[in-house]
Amino acid sequence: MYNKWVPILQHSPLFAEISDQEIIKILDCLKPLYKHYQKGELSINNDFNRLGIVLKGELRFIKEDAKGNRTLVNIIKEEETFGEIETFAGTGLKPMLTLAEEPCSVMYFQTDKIIGHCKKVCSFHKTMLINLLKIVAFKASLLNRQVDYLGMKSLREKISTFLLETYKQEGSKTFILQITRYELAEFLNVSRPSLSRELSNMRDEGIIDFYRASIRIIDIDGLLKAVSR
Amino acid sequence: MYNKWVPILQHSPLFAEISDQEIIKILDCLKPLYKHYQKGELSINNDFNRLGIVLKGELRFIKEDAKGNRTLVNIIKEEETFGEIETFAGTGLKPMLTLAEEPCSVMYFQTDKIIGHCKKVCSFHKTMLINLLKIVAFKASLLNRQVDYLGMKSLREKISTFLLETYKQEGSKTFILQITRYELAEFLNVSRPSLSRELSNMRDEGIIDFYRASIRIIDIDGLLKAVSR
DNA sequence: AAAAGTCTGTTGCATAAGTTACCAAATGGC
DNA sequence: GCCATTTGGTAACTTATGCAACAGACTTTT
């Protein structure tokens, strides 16, 4: 019954280092729920007491406020998990909307079955816990990074940090950004015109040069100066 | 040798649901390093590949930028752990300074010993992993909350959210804040005068009343209006 | 009780960033 | 090749917030 999904689960970080046979055993043991969302289906996810993994399609998490304004919070794609943090932190959960743009299949694991002290201490169960630990830690480190960015006082500092980070990653002073201005502005939590304005200022000061997505860092020290508050 | 610290470890979330005897077994198995920091000792923590737990005293984590400005990032107290996120996420670590204001004892566990596939799958080892998972998930949920606050566009929204959160928690429209204005301003990532100014505005609008640490919510809808963007 | 220190509110001023709008350059469909 | 759409830069204007400085209320020390 579950076997159909093993080839997909196999590639999920949740089942890293776990063989096909073991995955089947785990599924037999954890008895996950299986849920299918129709194309365009919008549902309220107010039960966060379980760990989800998207098997097929993608699931969009949407926040809706009292006025009915909707904000896209997250997109979970195939093989990715969601709900780990709320589940294991045991903190209050914010009910959210989920939207399936395309048909979407999801498997849900009950928390207490994962965490519960089932006395048969199977080694693959332990591996799964380690995988979960890595997944949650990784998400936490992403949040950490986001907190760092959001906490910066000036737009100049945000931009400089971002460019230095990209530079370090790319290994070259010239690179092509993989995100649009709008996305970058959203990530830095500023408005797009403000971002463009400040980028232009930095260009006028001879710190960087750019044309659309391609950026060239001219004066590294200029960037560093903005970063070291 | 390790036994001395068992009464302290016992109360740490890392060893929740684990008996004294089992703790000793775990220590025997994981062979943690033991380190003592002198009063006032300042060291560079550039080796984040291990999980720390403070046994005695407290350890301050300090960020230092190129210009030498120092910012207090975190204070880890007795029985609390640190370094889990960086350790298990396997992400690049930011070297930080650690400062022991008082004499401070710390135990370090090597990551690979916790995560490594030692074939003896002891049940308490599994419990420890679950505890770790909960700790990291909880820290992630705190980060989540912080991201939410930092991402808000207006100070009014930040204050309103904070007051509504406190109201829900306290169960009364009148309560005493347990933090100073300065600390609240820092948490909301605004300047203290700006915070005071906006609080006063809200008072003038009849939404709240306050005197120093004591706050009274008068118009819940006024708060909600600011929250629902 | 006086003095010193801390916490908080208030004000005026400077400024960074949001907003809106518009245009140009690229991209993609037909 | 042409039109529609997306993406990005710019400018004028408004506004929220930071900053610096001061003053009053409370707290602690002596």
How many Å from the CA of A212 to C1' of D5? Answer: 17
pLDDT band with cut points at 50, 70 and 90 for residue A25: confident
Element (DSSP H or E) covering residue A15: none
DSSP letter assigned to residue A10: T
| Rounded Cα gap, residues B10 and A126, in angstroms | 22
Answer for the pair B52, B60: CB distance below 8 angstroms, yes or no.
no
DSSP letter assigned to residue A101: S
Check residue B90 and give its pLDDT. Answer: 82
Scan for tokens 């910066």, then name that residue. A152
Taking CB atoms and an 8 Å cutoff, what residues of chain B touch A128? none
Instruction: Give A185-221 pLDDT, tens digit per residue.
Output: 999 999 999 999 999 999 999 999 999 999 999 999 9
Answer for the pair B31, B113: CB distance below 8 angstroms, yes or no.
yes
What is the amino acid identity at position B118? Answer: C
Tell me which of A13-22, A48-57, A171-180 is least confident.
A48-57
Contact at CB, B129 and A125, closer than 8 angstroms: no
Please tell me which of A87-101, A105-119, A146-160, B56-70 the model is most confident about, judged by mean pLDDT: A146-160
Tell me which of A61-65, B40-44, B116-120, B126-130 is least confident.
B116-120
DSSP character string of A46-82 = ---SEEEEEEES-EEEEEE-TT--EEEEEEE-TT-EE
DSSP letter assigned to residue A172: S
DSSP letter assigned to residue A94: -
Give me the residue from B65, B91, B141 closest to A141, CB to CB: B91
B189 touches strand D (CB under 7 A): yes
Check residue B93 and give its pLDDT. Answer: 64
* Percent of chain A residues topping a pLDDT of 90: 63
Answer for the pair A199, A155: CB distance below 8 angstroms, yes or no.
no
Check residue A152 and give its pLDDT. Answer: 95
Q: What is the mean pLDDT of chain A?
A: 90
**A155-170 and A123-151 are packed helices; what angle lies between their axes, rounded to 10 degrees?**
130
Give me the residue from A66, A119, A130 closest to B129, CB to CB: A130
Tell me which of A126-130, A156-160, B42-46 is least confident.
B42-46
Scan for tokens 């299918």, then name that residue. A36
The answer to whether A111 contacts chain B (CB < 8 Å) is no
The pLDDT of A127-149, averaged and rounded, is: 95
Taking CB atoms and an 8 Å cutoff, what residues of chain B touch A143? 140, 143-144, 146-147
The answer to whether A140 contacts chain B (CB < 8 Å) is yes
Coil/strand/helix, residue A117: coil
Q: Which of A155, A113, A146, A151 is nearest to A132 (CA)?
A: A113
| Rounded Cα gap, residues B92 and B49, in angstroms | 10
Coil/strand/helix, residue A214: strand
Element (DSSP H or E) covering residue A11: none
Answer for the pair B104, B58: CB distance below 8 angstroms, yes or no.
yes
The pLDDT of B53-80, averaged and rounded, is: 84
Q: What is the 3-state secondary structure (H, E, C) of chain B?
A: CCHHHHHHHCCCHHHCCCCHHHHHHHHHHHCCEEEEECCCCEEEECCCCEEEEEEECCEEEEEECCCCCEEEEEEECCCCEECHHHHHHCCCCCCEEEECCCCEEEEEEEHHHHHCCCCCCCHHHHHHHHHHHHHHHHHHHHHHHHHHHHHCCCHHHHHHHHHHHHHHHHCCCEEECCCCHHHHHHHHCCCHHHHHHHHHHHHHCCCEEEECCEEEECCHHHHHHHHCC
| Rounded Cα gap, residues B100 and B40, in angstroms | 5
Answer for the pair A16, A79: CB distance below 8 angstroms, yes or no.
no
Q: CA angle, A58 as apex, A52 and A59 as ends, to 5°?
A: 60
How many Å from the CA of B183 to C1' of D13? Answer: 35
Answer for the pair A188, A194: CB distance below 8 angstroms, yes or no.
no
Q: Which residue has the higher pLDDT, B168 or A64?
A: B168
Give me the residue from A67, A134, A224 closest to B228, CB to CB: A67
Answer for the pair A1, A68: CB distance below 8 angstroms, yes or no.
no
A214 touches strand D (CB under 7 A): no
Instruction: Give A58-98 pLDDT, tens digit per residue.
Output: 898 888 766 666 778 888 999 999 999 999 998 766 778 89
Q: Which residue has the higher pLDDT, A109 or B124?
A: A109
* Percent of chain B residues topping a pLDDT of 90: 64
pTM: 0.93
Taking CB atoms and an 8 Å cutoff, what residues of chain A touch B189? 150-151
pLDDT band with cut points at 50, 70 and 90 for residue A46: low
Answer for the pair A167, A174: CB distance below 8 angstroms, yes or no.
no
Taking CB atoms and an 8 Å cutoff, what residues of chain A touch B122? 121
Residues B124-156 as b/e (b if ≥16 CB within 10 A, e otherwise) read: bbbbbbbbbbbbbbbbbbebbebbebbebeebb
* Cα-based torsion angle of the residue sequence A37, A43, A48, A53 in order, rounded to the nearest 10 degrees: 20
Element (DSSP H or E) covering residue A170: helix A155-170
Chosen for mutation from A81, A93, A131, A147 (greatest number of chain B CBs closer than 10 Å) is A147
**pLDDT reading at A229 higher than 60:** no
The pLDDT of B72-90, averaged and rounded, is: 91
